[in-house]
């Protein structure tokens, strides 16, 4: 890998970890190998944050692609004021929140699953609900876990935005408190306060579901746990 003189310049920047210096230099030099590494390393966590931030998670692939395009175009202006990961998370959250605001203005429409989507080759109507049918039998464990994930994801979207963001970054993405503070540009105390309130909110919202699940006949599938962090991690 070619580091060039940029390595020497970046080596003195405290915010950038030593192991990032060479990869940043290569990114700035336009290395395709470096960008391939960047996408392979960060695509999933960036996608995960975006999908949980958007009102409509089906927009997440497009927004994630936009984030990496902005990283590609903006890497020359990255001067190491923060870590590379922090910088990318900032871009991701900015793009996700912009998309969320756009959705609120233009795309807040609900379509019933009974809506007709077209006609089959033999002229019979096709409905959205028909596309949701899974003819394959699933093991009970998979069904139970899918139910938990869907419920957690749905309830997570109802949490107030400041608290939801900290929940996603801490309990799902596993970021450190100080890194979250840097990404969101807030102090450490605010991070902990928002996390505590966010966990309390999602725990309250999930309580009826957890109680109902606990009363079901026991099986090989585990019952929902009381820890909010564990419940949220089911959504991964």
Task: Go through the domains of the chain in sequence order and give each one's CATH number.
Answer: 4-106 (1.10.1740.10), 140-233 (1.10.10.10)
Smallest CA-to-CA distance from 1 within 24, 13, 17, 18 is with 24
Locate tokens 């801490």: which residue?
170
Rounded to an integer, what is the distance from CA 174 to the centroid of its chain? 12
Helix (H, G, I), strand (E, B) or coil at 160: coil
Dist. CA 28–CA 47, nearest whole Å: 23
pLDDT at position 22, please?
87
CA distances, 38 to each of 23, 41, 99, 126, 197 (Å): 9, 5, 23, 42, 34
How far CA 204 is from CA of 179, 213, 236, in Å, comes to: 27, 15, 20
CA distance linking residue 38 with residue 85, whole number of Å: 10
**What pLDDT, on a 0 to 100 scale, did the predictor assign at position 209?**
80
Helix (H, G, I), strand (E, B) or coil at 127: strand
Closest by CA position to 203, among listed 165, 231, 173, 161: 231
- Which residues are bridge partners to 47 per DSSP? none
Residue pointed to by tokens 């890194």: 179
Round to whole Å and give the CA distance between 16 and 28: 15
Nearest alpha-carbon partner for 196 in 162, 145, 148, 157: 162
Contact criterion met (CB below 8 Å) for 205 and 158: yes
pLDDT of the residue at 100: 82
Q: 116: which strand partners?
A: 127
Q: What is the pLDDT of residue 124?
A: 74
Instruction: Provide the pLDDT for residue 235.
Output: 44
Whole-angstrom Cα distance, residue 201 to residue 27? 41
Q: Residue 118: beta bridge partners?
A: 126
The pLDDT, as a whole number, for residue 185 is 94
Kindly give the confidence (pLDDT) of every residue in the chain, 236 residues in length, as a single tens digit, with 9 standing for 90 and above. Answer: 444 444 444 334 445 566 688 889 999 998 899 999 999 999 999 999 999 988 888 889 999 999 999 999 999 999 888 899 999 999 999 999 888 887 766 655 556 666 667 777 777 777 766 666 666 555 666 666 777 788 888 888 899 888 999 999 998 889 999 999 999 999 999 999 999 999 999 989 888 887 776 776 544 444 443 344 455 444 44
- Can you tell me the distance from the alpha carbon of 152 to that of 179, in angstroms, rounded to the nearest whole number? 24
Q: How far apart are CA 170 and CA 236, in angstroms?
A: 13
| Secondary structure letter of residue 70 according to DSSP | H
Distance CA 119, CA 224 (A): 42
| 221: helix, strand or coil | coil
pTM: 0.57
């Amino acid at each position: 890998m070619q580091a060039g003189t940029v390595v020497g310049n970046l080596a003195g920047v405290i915010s950038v970890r030593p192991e990032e210096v060479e990869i940043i230099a290569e990114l700035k030099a336009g290395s395709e190998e470096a960008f391939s590494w960047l996408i392979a390393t960060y695509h999933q966590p960036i996608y995960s944050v975006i999908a949980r931030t958007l009102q409509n998670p089906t927009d997440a692939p497009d927004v994630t692609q936009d984030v990496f395009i902005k990283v590609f175009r903006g890497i020359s202006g990255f001067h190491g004021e923060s870590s590379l990961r922090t910088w990318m998370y900032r871009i991701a959250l900015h793009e996700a929140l912009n998309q969320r605001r756009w959705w609120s203005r233009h795309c807040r429409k609900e379509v019933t699953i009974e809506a007709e989507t077209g006609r089959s080759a033999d002229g019979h109507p096709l409905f959205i609900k028909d596309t949701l049918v899974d003819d394959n039998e699933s093991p009970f464990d998979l069904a139970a876990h899918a139910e938990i994930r869907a419920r957690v994801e749905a309830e997570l979207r109802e949490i107030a935005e400041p608290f939801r963001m900290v929940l996603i970054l801490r309990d799902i993405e596993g970021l450190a408190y100080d890194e979250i503070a840097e990404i969101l540009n807030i102090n450490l105390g605010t991070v902990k306060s928002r996390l505590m309130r966010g966990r309390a909110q999602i725990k309250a919202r999930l309580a009826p579901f957890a109680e109902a699940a606990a009363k079901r006949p026991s099986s090989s599938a585990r019952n929902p746990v009381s820890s909010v962090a564990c419940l949220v991690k089911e959504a991964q």
